[in-house]
Amino acid sequence: MSWSLLFFLLVGAVSLAAALGVVTSRQPVHSALFLLTNFATLAVLYITLDAQFLAAAQVIVYAGGIVILILFVIMLIGGDTNDFSAAQRAWSRTVGIALGIILLLTVSYSVLARMTGPSEETAAHLQGGTPEAVGIALFTKYVLPFELIALLLLVALIGALVLGRQQEGAGEGIPSVKANE
Amino acid sequence: MMLETSYYLVLAALIFTVGATGVLLRRNALIIFMCIEMMLNSVNLTLVALARQWGDLEGQIFVFMIMAVAAAEVAVGLAILIANVRHRKSINIDEINLLKW
């Protein structure tokens, strides 16, 4: 077994365990921290895939931005731990897991059925996803989508502002969700 | 020595499945939100792996765009959640049923 395979298996196992942790944690805060672990391991995998710029962007955007935003919202509205409660239909968990297994089999089959191994020549073409290479591609060939992304982010910013604004005369701010209420 | 692309694809399929199952199993809107982020990330992993296999940067550009869209989605989605908590005092999606027929 080569070192790269060993490393991949190690990082992949951590990533998968973190993904399972997101789904099974009772506290939303724990879920968010598992999600952070998952994002970090994916950044490591990006580096092994010659995508250094994306690894940095992954850490900055997901770990630094999105998880922090989710954590802020959890702190604002409180954790509703009344989740696995009796209100949930008894069969829904069984059906959910069964559907998940079917999905896994389908996706794995469709991914692996037509998979050919990596060809070393085409991979050598990729000069690595260094910030320089990605930046040159972004600002020459893909400059229009890049500008559209800027517009999209502006619209999302305004939308979030409008949705999150306090209504006139609404009073005392955000109520927190009490557990088991 | 290059690792086979199919390993990455299988890992991505596993993470995607865990995320999709989480959306089916959990009732907490915040956790469903995190599961959706996880699914987005697993698809990003397949794109990066295939970009390496074909020796093409386009997959990585695509992932960059997806990251920007995900950031926009998170901002708007969390704002909707907060607005909903103001009205209903709950983030259990079984109780968010105003649009349900």
A37 interaction partners in chain B (CB closer than 8 Å): none
CB contact under 8 A, A104 and B13: yes
Per-residue model confidence (pLDDT) at position A132: 87
pLDDT of residue A39: 95
* Full set of structural domains in chain A with CATH: 7-78 (1.20.120.1200), 127-165 (no CATH)
B96 assigned to some structural domain:
no
Where in the sequence is the domain holding B73, given as residue range(s)? 5-88
Of the candidates A31, A95, A120, which has its C-beta nearest B34's C-beta? Answer: A31
| B4: nearest Cα among A129, A48, A17, A53 | A48
- Count how many pairs of residues, chain A against chain B, have C-beta atoms within 8 Å: 259
Mean pLDDT value across residues A27-46: 93
| Nearest CA-CA distance, residue A108 and chain B, Å | 6
Strand, helix or coil for residue A116: coil
Q: What are phi and psi of B28, to 5 degrees?
A: -80, 120
**Residue A120: pLDDT above 80?**
no
What pLDDT score does A146 carry?
92
A174: nearest CA in chain B? B86
pLDDT, one tens digit per residue, over A7-35 is 999 999 999 999 999 999 888 899 999 99
Give me the residue from B3, B25, B79 closest to A160, CB to CB.
B79
Instruction: Indicate whether B13 belongs to any domain.
Output: yes
Please report the pLDDT score of residue A18 as a whole number.
95
Q: Given phi > 0 = left and psi -120 to 50 = alpha, else beta, which region is A176? A: beta
Confidence of residue A127 (pLDDT cuts 50, 70, 90): low
> Are A138 and A57 a contacting pair, CB within 8 Å?
no
Q: What is the ipTM of this complex?
A: 0.91
Closest Cβ opposite residue A51 in set B28, B60, B68: B60
- Report residue B95 as tokens: 């109780």
For the CA atoms of B30, B31, B35, B37, the dihedral, rounded to the nearest 10 degrees, stands at 30
Rounded distance between C-alpha atoms, residue A67 and residue A33, angstroms: 8
Q: Which residue has the higher pLDDT, B86 or B64?
A: B64
What is the DSSP code (8-state) at residue A85? S
**Measured distance CA(A87)–CA(A138) in Å, rounded:** 49
Distance from CA of A46 to the nearest CA of B (A): 7
B98 belongs to a structural domain:
no
Query: Residue B32: inside a domain, yes or no?
Result: yes
Q: Which residues does A7 contact at the CB level (< 8 Å), separation at least 6?
A: A48
- Position A180 scores a pLDDT of 45
| CB pair distance less than 8 Å for A22 and B16 | no
Do residues B9 and A115 touch, judged by C-beta distance below 8 A? yes
Task: Give the 3-state DSSP-derived string for A9-62, with helices as H, strands as E and coil as C.
Answer: HHHHHHHHHHHHHHHHCCCHHHHHHHHHHHHHHHHHHHHHCCCHHHHHHHHHHH
pLDDT-derived band at A181 (thresholds 50, 70, 90) equals very low
- Write the single-letter amino acid at A75: M
* Interchain proximity A4–B1, CB inside 8 Å: yes
Q: What is the CATH number of the domain that holds B72?
A: 1.10.287.3510
Interface test with chain B among A22, A81, A103, A125, by most B beta carbons within 10 Å: A22
- pLDDT of residue A70 exceeding 60: yes
User: In angstroms, how far apart are the furthest CA atoms of chain A?
Assistant: 66
- pLDDT above 70 (res A167): no
The Cα–Cα gap between A175 and A76 comes to: 8
Residues B74, B82: Cα–Cα separation, whole Å: 12
| CB of A130 closer than 8 Å to CB of A53 | yes
Q: Which residues of A touch B13 (CB under 8 A)?
A: 104, 107-108, 111
**Interchain contact B67–A (C-beta under 8 A):** yes
pTM over 0.90? The answer is: no
In a domain, B97, yes or no: no
CB A32 within 8 A of CB A74: yes
Q: Is the pLDDT of residue A179 over 60?
A: no
The answer to whether position B19 is within a domain reads yes
Residue B75 covered by a domain: yes
Number of separate domains in chain B? 1
CB of A69 closer than 8 Å to CB of A42: no
Answer whether B88 touches A (CB < 8 Å).
no
